[in-house]
Structure 1
Amino acid sequence: MTTMNLSVSTSVRTKWIQLFLGLVCMAAISSPQYVWTLLTKPMAAKLGVALPELQVTFSLLIILQTFFSPFQGRLIDYFGPRLLISIGTLLSGMSWILTSQVDSLSMLYLVYGCVGGLGTGIVYVGVVGLMVRWFPHSRGFAAGMVAAGYGMGAIVTTFPISISLKENGLEQTLWMFGILFAVVGFIASQGLKMPSENSNDVAADNSSRILQGKRHYRPTEMLKHPLFWLMFLMMAVMSTSGLMVVSQMATFAADFGITQVTVLGMAALPLAMTIDRFTNGLTRPLFGFVSDRFGRENTMFIAFALEGCAMTLWLVCKDNALLFVLLSGVVFFGWGEIFSLFPSTLTDTFGTRYATANYGWLYTAQGVGSFLGGPLAAMVYQHTGGWNLVFSMAIGADFLTAALALWVLKPWRKRFIEANQH
């Protein structure tokens, strides 16, 4: 009995170490996306290009990160997380080091957009796929924690990078932080490993009340099931609806007259964006934790409806600066949890053996949202001259997806799992 208890204790410690290492890896690759805005002005001045041309770099980063994830996930499942995530952290850091030496827009596209996008995509998909294996009965929480590490990791580096740009210039900042990101991420990735399927590595979790299938579906099998495409549609719609609003926040804040107002002695827009970043990170492990105990679809309904209600109040109270700031945090709180709820739901449904490759396919839904959200909102605003229709479309999408979660996904997934238990 003592030996068994010691084994369980070791297993518990091991999985929490894995979660910590995954968090570090995610934080190490967060800056290329979240700190890009600090680099645009000095980079445009260095290369002598207009901002729209420069922003293609960021689009390439997101496209390579999301739309190549099925291929990256398959490689991770084949070669193992340690090797591929190590390569991903090095590619991500190297993209900054190489960017410090670029002298043309095409080279910037290649090294920051393409190399950086591939590196961050490998790490993101790999770490999430690994965590849902290590925490089979707390998948929502574990996926949410590492997703929060990616979303909030840049908080640690934003101010140091901003200060370094002023004191040391663009080139030195890029290579210095690029080396730091690569080294930290690479060291953390060396401790990552798969749990043993026939051991006590994950046996210490409490008995789960979450409905989980016993069969392990390959990606080719999963893609044949309409249930997967329902999840894909729901994640794409939620990603698009959220980005329709949050990507245009500075623009409609100016139209609402918020940018010239202070709240609690601070400028309203920067205060709102600071709160947003915190709530967008907090919601991922929190709603993931809730979903582990009360069900994935029940939690989706609450979170998606919460975002719809918050957006409605945001629009109605657009002239109140204090409510604008507070409700912006609630909107982000109701949006960011898609990065914990969907990967855990997918793995519950289609099994763990091919979890990383399977999530790679689902993660492309985020790419669809990134591709559609901002441009769609800008197009609608341009044609209508206001934000009412933009908000109405996003709000409608939120409530529609909430209804799909509770009244379509939940019963369908239950029938699917019950029919495929053997």
Structure 2
Amino acid sequence: MQREKNRWLIAAAAVGIHLSIGSVYAWSVFTKPLMNQFNWGLQEVSFTFSIAIMFLGLSAAFLGHYVERHGPRKAGTLASLFFGVGIAGSGLAVNLESIYLLYLFYGVLGGIGLGVGYITPVSTLVKWFPDRRGLATGLAIMGFGFASLISSPIMARLIDGVGIAATFYILGAIYFLVMYSSAQYLEPPAEGWLPKGYKEKLESGKKKPVADLSQLTANEAVKTARFYWLWIMLFINVTCGIAVISVASPMAQEIAGLTPLQAATMVGLMGLFNGLGRIGWASLSDYIGRPNTYTAFFVIQVLAFFLLPSITQALLFQLLVYLILTCYGGGFASIPAYIGDLFGTKQLGAIHGYILTAWAAAGLVGPILASWVRETTNSYTDTLYIFAGMFVVALIVSLLIRLDIRKLRALHEQRQADLAG
């Protein structure tokens, strides 16, 4: 008999993969060195990051079925190859002084590694933690949120010490090794597996099993209204969050009068709250439920975005921004567990991949919208009010999805009663 794997080591492997791919959030460390070395423009260099995020969403959508068909070990290995080659190949692009090769390696190949690497461990973790889905997905996705805090100073020192190209070569090799070795431990649990303490509590009647409201394939899921409600909620949450991240420093200086140094410190701390929000909100969702968690996100952010333009007190302004960032991170971390609750775990990776197209779309829309409104109105105030309005829409959607859930629950209970009868 095969020895049962430790689910906490599965979680650690998932964190290893997400810490590696999450380094994409530290792309800005390369921006100035690349601009200075090759006289490339800011838009040209920043476009590399946009391509990577776009291919993250596309590969998550199109390769989600690969994850389900071939399992997390093969999918994780594929992600390590794409991401490792993408980062190391960026070093070759730098040596050849080609921005288009940089787009291909970092943007396209690295982006594909990002997408597959993002969904692979998450769908596996949900199956290993039927008792604490939110905590499990929060742990992995927290790694993605915290990665830039860890990798940014390392990247900066490497660039200073060995140059840009060698930095890409070194990072490509490290990320490949970490992701490849982590992927080898990933494996779904046996059919019907339950953790020991949880199993006993279920058998004694101390706990009721958390039953998924349906078991759908990815192609069945996209034909339901609740799939699109989830997509819209994630899209709005990410659009507004990414937009705030992209303009945080100048916005804080304009509205709350922060100095450039204070604003830079705030931006650094935003990464910390983004990561904390992922584990905090996702864990809380195990106790208050995913529908209540998402409604809470939107109530908080409607109020925060309406208040921000009138907050001139620096500390209060920063606290509100940090609160928004916890909701931004929490939205990413809670969505896989929400998918499991509504669609089951049969093809969770593929459904998660489809939902993540909202991230790809938001990555393009958010910063463009924030910049356009700022340039048109010459103020960040209208931008914040527009986002508050978008969160009102998200709040309504978070209430509408409950009608779907209520019908599903009634159907599920009817089915259980028919089976019992």
Q: Normalising by structure 1, what TM-score?
A: 0.90
What are structure 2's unaligned runs of at least 5 residues? 416-421
Q: 1:216 aligned to 2:209? A: no
Closer, same or farther in 2 for the Cα pair 1:326/1:190, shift >3 Å?
same
Closer, same or farther in 2 for the Cα pair 1:215/1:326, shift >3 Å?
closer
What are structure 1's unaligned runs of at least 5 residues? 1-6, 262-266
Q: Which moved more, 1:208-217 or 1:92-101?
A: 208-217
Counterpart for residue 19 of structure 1 = 11
CA distance in structure 1 between the aligned counterparts of 2:322 and 2:225, rounded to whole angstroms: 34
Q: 1:85 aligned to 2:84? A: no
Q: 1:329 aligned to 2:292? A: no
Counterpart for residue 175 of structure 1 = 169
Q: 1:246 aligned to 2:245? A: yes
CA distance in structure 1 between the aligned counterparts of 2:61 and 2:288, rounded to whole angstroms: 30
Counterpart for residue 309 of structure 1 = 303
CA distance in structure 2 between the aligned counterparts of 1:394 and 1:65, rounded to whole angstroms: 24
User: Are the equivalent residues in 2 in contact too, given 1:65–1:119 (CA < 8 A)?
Assistant: yes
Q: 1:359 aligned to 2:352? A: yes
Q: Which amino acid aligns with 1:361?
A: Y
Given candidates 244, 265, 270, the residue that maps to 1:271 is 265
Q: 1:229 aligned to 2:228? A: yes
CA distance in structure 2 between the aligned counterparts of 1:105 and 1:88, rounded to whole angstroms: 23
SS in 1 for 2:6: helix
Given candidates 34, 42, 45, the residue that maps to 2:33 is 42
Counterpart for residue 57 of structure 1 = 48
Q: CA deviation at 1:249?
A: 1.2
Given candidates 405, 408, 412, the residue that maps to 2:400 is 408
CA distance in structure 1 between the aligned counterparts of 2:264 and 2:112, rounded to whole angstroms: 31
Counterpart for residue 285 of structure 1 = 279
Q: CA deviation at 1:222?
A: 0.8
Q: Which amino acid aligns with 1:376?
A: L
User: Are the equivalent residues in 2 in contact too, given 1:269–1:325 (CA < 8 A)?
Assistant: no
User: Are the equivalent residues in 1 in contact too, given 2:130–2:194 (CA < 8 A)?
Assistant: no
Counterpart for residue 290 of structure 2 = 296
Q: Which amino acid aligns with 1:190?
A: Q
Q: CA deviation at 1:360?
A: 0.6
Q: CA deviation at 1:67?
A: 2.2
Q: CA deviation at 1:404?
A: 2.9
User: Are the equivalent residues in 2 in contact too, given 1:91–1:115 (CA < 8 A)?
Assistant: yes
Q: CA deviation at 1:312?
A: 3.0
Q: Which moved more, 1:118-127 or 1:44-53?
A: 44-53
Q: 1:147 aligned to 2:141? A: yes
Q: Which amino acid aligns with 1:219?
A: A
Count matched residues: 405
CA distance in structure 1 between the aligned counterparts of 2:305 and 2:317, rounded to whole angstroms: 10
Counterpart for residue 256 of structure 1 = 255
Q: 1:123 aligned to 2:117? A: yes
SS in 2 for 1:204: helix
Q: Which moved more, 1:344-353 or 1:334-343?
A: 334-343
Q: Which amino acid aligns with 1:28?
A: S
Q: Which amino acid aligns with 1:29?
A: I
Q: 1:94 aligned to 2:85? A: yes
Q: 1:382 aligned to 2:364? A: no
Q: Which amino acid aligns with 1:184?
A: V
Q: CA deviation at 1:170?
A: 0.8
CA distance in structure 2 between the aligned counterparts of 1:280 and 1:36, rounded to whole angstroms: 17
CA distance in structure 2 between the aligned counterparts of 1:228 and 1:194, rounded to whole angstroms: 24
SS in 2 for 1:29: helix
Deviations 1:80-114 (A, max 9, x none): 11011112023212212111111211111100100
CA distance in structure 2 between the aligned counterparts of 1:316 and 1:234, rounded to whole angstroms: 26
Counterpart for residue 387 of structure 2 = 394
Q: Which moved more, 1:215-224 or 1:18-27?
A: 215-224
Closer, same or farther in 2 for the Cα pair 1:193/1:231, shift >3 Å?
same
SS in 2 for 1:376: helix
Deviations 1:37-65 (A, max 9, x none): 01112223344321212222111100000
Closer, same or farther in 2 for the Cα pair 1:378/1:416, shift >3 Å?
same
CA distance in structure 1 between the aligned counterparts of 2:158 and 2:350, rounded to whole angstroms: 38
Compare the two structures and name the one with the higher helix fraction: 2
Q: CA deviation at 1:340?
A: 2.0
Counterpart for residue 30 of structure 1 = 22
SS in 1 for 2:66: helix
Q: Which amino acid aligns with 1:287?
A: W
User: Are the equivalent residues in 2 in contact too, given 1:69–1:125 (CA < 8 A)?
Assistant: yes
Given candidates 95, 103, 127, the residue that maps to 1:109 is 103
Q: Which amino acid aligns with 1:35?
A: A
Q: Which amino acid aligns with 1:383?
A: T
Q: CA deviation at 1:411?
A: 2.9
SS in 1 for 2:356: helix
User: Are the equivalent residues in 2 in contact too, given 1:258–1:269 (CA < 8 A)?
Assistant: no
Closer, same or farther in 2 for the Cα pair 1:202/1:355, shift >3 Å?
farther
Closer, same or farther in 2 for the Cα pair 1:199/1:254, shift >3 Å?
closer
Closer, same or farther in 2 for the Cα pair 1:66/1:209, shift >3 Å?
farther
Q: Which amino acid aligns with 1:367?
A: A
User: Are the equivalent residues in 2 in contact too, given 1:307–1:333 (CA < 8 A)?
Assistant: no
CA distance in structure 1 between the aligned counterparts of 2:217 and 2:183, rounded to whole angstroms: 25
User: Are the equivalent residues in 1 in contact too, given 2:133–2:286 (CA < 8 A)?
Assistant: yes
User: Are the equivalent residues in 1 in contact too, given 2:131–2:198 (CA < 8 A)?
Assistant: no
CA distance in structure 2 between the aligned counterparts of 1:197 and 1:342, rounded to whole angstroms: 23
Q: CA deviation at 1:324?
A: 2.6
CA distance in structure 1 between the aligned counterparts of 2:244 and 2:396, rounded to whole angstroms: 21
Q: Which moved more, 1:308-317 or 1:227-236?
A: 308-317
Deviations 1:99-134 (A, max 9, x none): 111121111110010000000110101111111121
Q: CA deviation at 1:201?
A: 5.4
